[in-house]
Structure 1
Amino acid sequence: MSDNNSIKAVLYAFTANLGIALAKSGAAVWTGSGSMLAEAIHSYADCGNQVLLVIGMKRSAKAATQKHPMGYERESYIWSMMVAFILFSIGGVFAIYEGWDRYHHPQAIENAKIALLVLLAAIIMEALSLKGALSAMKEEKGKQSLWQWFKTTHSSELMVVTGEDIAALLGLVFALVALGLTVMTGNTAFDALGSMIIGLLLVTVAAVVGAEIHSLLIGESAEDVRTSIQTYLEAQACVMRVLNVWAINHGNSVMVAIKAELKPELSVHSAVQEINAMERQIKQTNSRVKWIFFEIDDKD
């Protein structure tokens, strides 16, 4: 998946969330709904998320320097981590607090029908935003399930956008149900509980997304690339044994380290030529591979 697709998905989500946030804010002020206010805060947090993600993608595209010879591609992980833990968590904790306060200090809800209409419109817009994210990941996802893709993807920014879209859609449904129950029963406790549930949902998403980004940040293996390279090397006539293959995600690129035993009759010049040919083929077959470090050895 290209960076261009990621940026489009993020900008599309930003536009949708800004419109939703403004509509929710107006409805929250008009109706006095706690769950609607929580949803508005969530949408503004989502807008902030997308701003940080774009900053991260732009900074990760900086050219390599002598001090950072492998470039800055992993910087996108740092900004995605900021989104997961700061904005998601702050939004979630505030929503829980707001719901708790409204539960113990009930406030009447006015013009609830307007709020319900806003929520229905927001659900449609959020569903379209999620559709855009799913479309952007289509090439990378392939035949994997959404959960399998989530566990193996290297695209932290798309992981965050998808996670927040799913959380937003579920949160809107909870808000709609909570506000609907409040309208039907006249009991504002349902609205307050809706706000707390939305907050718990945000905190849960923050924890799950944060854990996956943490794994990428400390150096997660690109298993599909590693398996492909291992299979290719084992089929080469000049290779006696493949001792080790590392394929580590580095943003959108992959760093590969290989330790293999070559046939002993090869001269140094022949070994160099064979290694160069294998490296070229590996890069042609695996477009994400940017660096290859090949070590000849006869033991693990």
Structure 2
Amino acid sequence: MPHDNSTKAIVYAFAANLGIAVSKTGAAIWTGSGSLLAEAIHSFADCGNQVLLFIGMKRAERLATAKHPMGYGRESYIWSMMVAITLFSVGGLFSIYEGWLRMGERHEVENAGAAMLVLLIAVALEAFSLKGALSALQDEKGRRGLWQWFRETQSSELMVVVGEDLAALLGLVIAALMLGLTMLTGNSVYDAMGSIMIGMLLVIVAALVGREVHSLLLGEADTAIRDAVRSFLQQQPEVVRVLNIWAISHGNQVMVAVKAELLPDLRVAEAAVAINKMEQQIKSAHNRVNWVFFEIDNSD
């Protein structure tokens, strides 16, 4: 299900961004608008983002091997990090550079009305893409706010797509405002400032997405599953106390490691039966849990 949602969001985003990129490029060449050129670069970068995310998602689905016994689930994080660093940051820095050059050269913006029309069309397409992404993540997000979901999600593809779409909409607002000021004043410095502001926005989004994906790469705990498993084990008659629990995300799957003290009079065979039963119940209750490792101990 998580991969199905991510695929849907990626397809929506790619279709919208490809149409936007082509229209922005034509309008930027026709009008000479720096803000539109920055937006075109951003949209082409977003198309590249979607291709990389899709590749990473498919590679993460490869079956486990003797060399990689837990599979390749975390590979999607690597490709998401590539998107954040390479495309977001490069697109952002190029936009800043382009705006800086135009600040000095003061290019004339022609056919500004047509450029504004393209921006409005792009807003509609980006809104369509964002709506698709938000719809795809709704089941996972639940009642959490968008920022809380962003900080806690293990779906790096959805995180990147939503970050892209939000940055794109904000960038379009900036481009429209700055182009509007240029039309009103006849001063193209506002258009150049728009390019710089869009670039700074992309760099900020890259930093936020990169920070979250970096945490996933290191092995982020799923606190909801950890707390639920702890509560479940504490209710089991064979468990004296729970000493420690790890619930570590591995792509769309979770590895749970338990260290617990069992009743001292349990025989080995009885303890094995009890542990196997608890492991099966944990997996049944949490479909993301793929591995459960249970250690019996009596000390922290």
Q: How does the TM-score come out when normalised to structure 1?
A: 0.99
2:283 touches 2:290 (CA, 8 Å); kept in 1? Answer: yes
Secondary structure of the residue aligned to 2:80 is helix
State the partner residue of 1:252.
252
State the partner residue of 2:151.
151
**C-alpha displacement at 1:5, in angstroms?**
1.4
**C-alpha displacement at 1:11, in angstroms?**
1.2
Secondary structure of the residue aligned to 1:117 is helix
Distance across 2 between alignment mates of 1:204 and 1:100: 18
Distance across 2 between alignment mates of 1:58 and 1:279: 29
State the partner residue of 1:60.
60
Instruction: Give the letter for the 1:153 counterpart.
Output: T
State the partner residue of 2:200.
200
Instruction: Give the letter for the 1:28 counterpart.
Output: A
Q: Deviations over 1:228-259 (max 9, x none)?
A: 00000011110001000000000000000000
2:30 touches 2:110 (CA, 8 Å); kept in 1? Answer: yes
Distance across 1 between alignment mates of 2:231 and 2:272: 20
Distance across 1 between alignment mates of 2:222 and 2:287: 13
State the partner residue of 2:287.
287
Q: Deviations over 1:261-294 (max 9, x none)?
A: 0000100000000000000000010110000110
Instruction: Give the letter for the 1:110 counterpart.
Output: E
Distance across 2 between alignment mates of 1:2 and 1:56: 14
**C-alpha displacement at 1:29, in angstroms?**
0.2
State the partner residue of 1:122.
122
State the partner residue of 1:45.
45
Distance across 2 between alignment mates of 1:299 and 1:166: 49
Gaps of 5+ in 1: none
Distance across 2 between alignment mates of 1:211 and 1:107: 37
State the partner residue of 2:19.
19
State the partner residue of 1:5.
5
State the partner residue of 2:240.
240
Instruction: Give the letter for the 2:80 counterpart.
Output: S
Instruction: Give the letter for the 1:209 counterpart.
Output: V
**C-alpha displacement at 1:12, in angstroms?**
1.1
Distance across 2 between alignment mates of 1:227 and 1:136: 26
Counting only pairs closer than 5 Å after superposition, residues 63-212 of structure 1 correspond to structure 2 as 63-212=63-212
Secondary structure of the residue aligned to 1:23 is helix
**CA-based RMSD:** 0.5
Secondary structure of the residue aligned to 1:246 is strand
State the partner residue of 1:265.
265
Distance across 1 between alignment mates of 2:114 and 2:258: 62
Q: Deviations over 1:168-226 (max 9, x none)?
A: 00000000000000001000010000000000000000000000000000000001100
2:258 touches 2:292 (CA, 8 Å); kept in 1? Answer: yes
Distance across 2 between alignment mates of 1:13 and 1:282: 36
Q: Deviations over 1:16-73 (max 9, x none)?
A: 0000000000000000000000000000000000000000000000000000000001
Q: How does the TM-score come out when normalised to structure 2?
A: 0.99
Distance across 1 between alignment mates of 2:52 and 2:272: 44
Which 4+ residue blocks in structure 1 deviate beyond 6 angstroms? none
Distance across 1 between alignment mates of 2:188 and 2:9: 37
Secondary structure of the residue aligned to 1:137 is helix
Secondary structure of the residue aligned to 2:219 is coil
Secondary structure of the residue aligned to 2:244 is strand
Secondary structure of the residue aligned to 1:257 is strand
State the partner residue of 1:298.
298
Q: Could you tell me the percent identity over the aligned residues?
A: 64
Distance across 1 between alignment mates of 2:242 and 2:4: 36
2:2 touches 2:155 (CA, 8 Å); kept in 1? Answer: no
Instruction: Give the letter for the 1:4 counterpart.
Output: D
The alignment covers a number of residue pairs equal to 300
Q: Deviations over 1:97-116 (max 9, x none)?
A: 00000001111011110000
Distance across 2 between alignment mates of 1:297 and 1:3: 37
State the partner residue of 2:218.
218
2:222 touches 2:248 (CA, 8 Å); kept in 1? Answer: yes
